[in-house]
Amino acid sequence: MLKTTKAILLSLTMLAAGSAIASESTPDLTVFASKDAQGSVWNSRTDQPEYQVTYKVTINNMSKEAYTPDKGKKMCFFLFNSQGRQVKNYGIQYELYAPYKAMESRNGIAMFTSQDASLFDLPFVKLGLGDTCLTAATK
C-alpha cells in the first residue's frame, strides 16, 4: 500500500511540474476579432484574383509577465471553422508585433486571402505562435 501511495504522489508531483512548465512557456493571450471588410486582391504578374477579408483584432496579454513576439516567438493568425478548414493570415498590422506589457491590450488588423470564396464563411480567428506559424498548412 505504501508503494502505491508513493507512486500516486510521485505521479501527481510530475503532473503538477509539467503543468507549471507548460504554463510558463505558453503566454496567456486572448484574441477578440470582428470582421472589418471584404474585398479582393489581384497581382499583375500572376493575373490571379483572390478574395480578401480583414479582421480587426485585439490581443490582450492576460499574464502578469511581459510578452515579446520575436524570431523565436513567431506570431500569426488563422481564420477557421468547426469543420477543420483554415487559412493562415496574409498580413498583420505591424503594431501587433510590438512588446506587450503585463495586462496590456493592443488593436490591429489581420488580413486573409484565398482563391476560394468560402473564405468569407470562416467565422473564427485564432492566434498562432512559434512553429505553428511556420509549419501550418492551409486546408
β-bridge mates for residue 33, sequence order: 57
In a domain, 7, yes or no: no
Strands of the sheet containing 124-129, edge to edge, are 86-88, 75-80, 124-129
In a domain, 21, yes or no: no
In a domain, 60, yes or no: yes
What gap in Å lies between CA 109 and CA 10, rounded to an integer? 47
In a domain, 51, yes or no: yes
Q: Which residue has the higher pLDDT, 2 or 21?
A: 2
Q: Which residue has the higher pLDDT, 41 or 132?
A: 41
Q: Which amino acid is at 77?
A: F
In a domain, 92, yes or no: yes
Domain with 54, as residue range(s), is 27-135
CATH code, 80: 2.60.40.4110
Domain count, the chain: 1
In a domain, 20, yes or no: no
pLDDT tens, residue by residue, 7-18: 444 444 444 444
Average pLDDT, the chain: 83
8 Å CB contact between 49 and 106 = no
In a domain, 37, yes or no: yes
Extended strands (E) in the chain: 29-42, 49-61, 75-80, 86-88, 91-92, 105-114, 124-129
8 Å CB contact between 59 and 106 = yes
